[in-house]
Structure formats: structure tokens, C-alpha cells
Structure 1
């Protein structure tokens, strides 16, 4: 029964026009849950069963973030089944592991300089686009040679099939022109693989930056190499005074809170900013 329910849930998500990548992720995570449920002597979806699944995940060789994600998708499925009348409602609160509160990984300007110094032309062009736009890697590989107009603007299809405009500086435009001029292929994609000159894939982008980060000797210093450009984009714009709503639109988020999560400062950075503000300046003569 659980296998059929999972398929019906996925069909509902497809009908809601969730992206193929999202459906694939759901299928993988819920497939694991379904397989585990079928191995249990009592397959009734109860709170006790969900807690047992969480305990099972905790014993697997996965990160706490993956544990959270796999369990969360199972809980969402169970709530959907209850809403659709397939099962009795199940209390699902306080089952997920507590995630450590870490600041989003980002690059320092020194690290970016080191990346640029060792990067080949293609990687340098990708790095400039990532820093200038804050796009996701799935959005980066959508870009075509003709995506950007003369003003550096382009329309992309973001997460959740939402259109949004992005912009690149004149510096990035020049780097892209140099990169495109160096190519001998006719592929309309903006970024292509070196050997077969096919449109670069998500894994191809990750592999290329893994090499660049290793050459720059920062591979062990930054978590999530590609996504960290997105956090760097958000932090730098907020530090330069961009308002939260504009940042939300530029990053393609549904809520301001999500965008500001990327822009969080460390306590050390906040202290440095604080040192430039003298709260007693106007009353100093009274002291």
C-alpha cells in the first residue's frame, strides 16, 4: 500500500507542476522510506513508526542534514495522506532532529581572488556570473550565449518555474565575450564541457569548481563550493545597503526571511561594523 500511496503523492506533485528535479528528489527520499516501511512487521503509519524511521536514519552513514531532509519528506507524505483521507491523522511534530545553527557558507574576498588567479577562462566566466547574479547552479547552466542583452540583463526560469531578471556588470560582460570568442563550437549554451563541447551539467560545474578550489588551496575551507557564491552575493549586497525586498526578488525567494538567512553576519563581522558607530558622539561633551 505504501508504494501505491507514494506514487499517488508524486502524481499530485507533478500535477502541481513541481520541477522534474524536485520530483526526482521526492522519489529518491520517499523510495527509501517506502522500502523501510515494507520491511517492518507493522506497516501502519503511526507516530511510533515515524520515530522508528528517524532512529533508523540516525544509524545510517548520512549527515544530520540528510537525516532531516529524508524524515521531513516522509512526514510531509504522511500529512498529505491524512489530508486526502487515506489514513488517520498522525501527530508529526517534534520528530525531526535539531539541526546545528551554522551561518551559510560564503567566500571571503581573499578566497575569491585566489580562485580567479588559478581559474581557467571558462571557470573564471562562471565565477563572475555566479558572483554578479547569485543564481543557483541549475539556473547557471540554463544560460545561452544570447541570454544577456547589451545592458547585461537576462530573463531566467528559476526554482518553482518562476521567471526573474538577473544582471551582470560590464566586467563580467567582458569576461564572457572573451570566453565565447575563445570557443570553436556552435553550441548555443553559454557554458559547455571542454571535451565534447556539450551543455555543461550540474555535476560538471561542481567537478570543475572542485578542481579550481583544490588548486587555490581552499577546498577544505569552504562548504558547498557553488552555493557559497549565492550566500556571498546576498551578504555583499546587504552590506552595501540593498533593501531586503530587492534582495528577495534578485534571489528568487518567496520570503524575505529566506534571503536574509543567506546574508547573516558572524558575530566578529557585526563587531567590526559596530566599531565604526560611536553612540556617545553627540553627548561626548557632557562626559
Structure 2
């Protein structure tokens, strides 16, 4: 049985093109499974669906997280499917295995008060502060991804119409409205700071670094972190937290999920529904604290 593992790993690498991390995970999972099987005096051709379910129960009793057990199920599916296709076993015992349901962890968000404090930190008396203010305001006003923010071009902004255009990593374009506060911050940046900061007059990226080039993800992450520290917000702050906060606050204030889905650029509304759960949890907290008979 051990000799099938190395062949299976070669198959993952050469035929499936799996990443080194995936191969390492599958190797660990399959070897652990074989240890369990051998300790129960079984052979590869005698393994049944019941044996594999017993192993999953064993993992659960060992305190393994549902995500770990789910990954083990994926490893077993792939391994036994390989054995079956190569006529090493007569039937696939993993075919009816079901992964445990994994509860999605709710993302961290800022309160509306924390957002106000964070966005008030940049000093808009200098070019850097004006740029930082505009970037933070646009990020919270639109909920776009950081990669989309730093890839915005100057022509993607329509101040008069109150929209920005952005493209996701699949080059799919969407238009998102911006409010008056973010429009004012953008106008100030475009009129008072950008032309001073750019090195090349033909630079078309909207936001540039202090060296006059396109802003990097890491550079913007440092900007957000520094202002969070300055504001005294000690949550685990990342630029993505403003995207989550944008969506959560919209839903809390009555926005419909379809509109939020479109603005976020989610292909599946089930991804957007997590913000409805967060809003419901928030309402429950408010009710519990405020209702005399809660």
C-alpha cells in the first residue's frame, strides 16, 4: 500500500499540476490514513466506505477541526479515485463520503464610529495626506478590492456622474456609485496633489506612491495600519476590512443583497449573504441589550 503513495504524489505533480502545498497536504493525509488502516490490519483492496467513515469519526474524536476533516475527505477522494482508475482497487470506497459542514467564520468589521475615526486621520494639508484621505474614502464608499483600488486609472473616475469603473482579476468591469464625501476627497486629490506627486506626466494610474509611481498593495496596507494605530483601533486591521465594513453597513441600513452583490462584484449571491447574517447578529445583540424581557 505504501508504494502507491509515491506514484499517487507523482500523478498529482505531473498530471494534475497540483501546487507543492496541496501535494504536501495530500501526502500527510494519505500517510495518516494508511497508518490507521494498517493498525486495524486492513489492506488497500479490503477498505470499505464504513472503514473510511470510522476513520473520520476517529479524526473527530482526536479533536480535528471540521476544516481539517473536510480536507482529509478531499484527499481520500483523490487518492482512491486514482487507485480505481489505475485498476489497483476494484471499487472506490470513498465515493459516498460526505465532508462535514464548515461554518463560515464571520469577517471582522469596523463599526460606523470606527470608520469615521479612521477616515478622519489623514492630514489633508499635504499631498500624502490628501491622497491617503481619497484612497480610504473611495475604498469605504465603494467596497472595491485593494487590487481594484490600486489599479484604478484616472479615466475610471467620473466625478460628474458620481461613479467609478473598476475591473476584477477576470477583467470583468462594473460601475459603482460614490457619495459626496468621497467625491470631494477625489476632487481635492486630483486638483491639489496628484499632479505634484506623479513623476511621469503620462502616468494613467489614479493613485501613486510618494515616488510618483503606481501604489503597491503592501504600501497601501502600511498606510491603513498606520492610521488604525493613530486612531487607537486595535482590531486586526487590513484594507479588506473596509470592504467588509462597507457591505455590512449597507445591509444594516436596508440595502438589498442583489445590489450589494453587484457592487462587490460577487458572482454568487451566497457569498454576499454572509453580510445579512452579520446584520441579523447585530440586530439580535441590540435587541438582547435593549429589550426589558430579552
The TM-score normalised by the length of structure 2 is 0.65
Q: Which residue of 2 aligns with 1:229?
A: 242
TM-superposed deviation, 1:211: 1.5
Comparing both chains, which one has the higher relative contact order based on Cα–Cα distances under 8 Å and sequence gaps of 6 or more? 1
The residue matched to 2:165 in structure 1 has which SS? strand
The residue matched to 2:156 in structure 1 has which SS? coil
Q: Which residue of 1 aligns with 2:25?
A: 33
2-side partners of 1:211 and 1:135: how far apart?
21
1-side partners of 2:161 and 2:80: how far apart?
46
2-side partners of 1:114 and 1:129: how far apart?
16
The match for 1:164 among 147, 162, 174 is 174
1:140 aligns with 2:143: no
Q: Is 2:165–2:175's contact at 8 Å kept on the other side of the alignment? A: yes
Q: Which has the larger radius of gyration?
A: 2
Q: Which residue of 1 aligns with 2:207?
A: 191
2-side partners of 1:218 and 1:239: how far apart?
22
Any gaps of 5 or more consecutive residues in structure 1?
11-25, 278-287
Q: Which residue of 2 aligns with 1:5?
A: 12
What is the number of residues matched between the two proteins? 246
Give the RMSD, CA atoms, in angstroms. 4.3
2-side partners of 1:76 and 1:142: how far apart?
41
2-side partners of 1:121 and 1:144: how far apart?
18
The residue matched to 1:164 in structure 2 has which SS? strand
Q: Which residue of 2 aligns with 1:213?
A: 228
Q: Which string of whole-angstrom CA distances, capped at 9 and with x for unpartnered residues, describes residues 163-206 of structure 1?
A: 22222123212212222331331332122222x33222222222
Q: Which moved more, 1:27-36 or 1:223-232?
A: 27-36
1:265 aligns with 2:260: no
Q: Is 2:148–2:166's contact at 8 Å kept on the other side of the alignment? A: yes
1-side partners of 2:76 and 2:151: how far apart?
30
1-side partners of 2:73 and 2:169: how far apart?
18
Kindly indicate which of the two structures has a greater share of residues assigned to helix.
Answer: 2
1-side partners of 2:70 and 2:20: how far apart?
9
1:106 aligns with 2:121: no
The residue matched to 1:154 in structure 2 has which SS? strand
Q: Structure 1 228/145 Cα, relative in aligned 2: closer, same or farther at 3 Å?
A: same
Q: Is 1:118–1:212's contact at 8 Å kept on the other side of the alignment? A: yes
The TM-score normalised by the length of structure 1 is 0.66
TM-superposed deviation, 1:272: 3.6
1:125 aligns with 2:134: yes
Q: Which string of whole-angstrom CA distances, capped at 9 and with x for unpartnered residues, describes residues 106-164 of structure 1?
A: 11122112212323333322211111111111221221122112313233222544322
Q: Is 2:225–2:237's contact at 8 Å kept on the other side of the alignment? A: no
Any gaps of 5 or more consecutive residues in structure 2?
1-6, 36-43, 123-128
The residue matched to 1:156 in structure 2 has which SS? strand
Q: Which string of whole-angstrom CA distances, capped at 9 and with x for unpartnered residues, describes residues 34-74 of structure 1?
A: 67589889799x969x97xx99xx99xxxx79x65993896
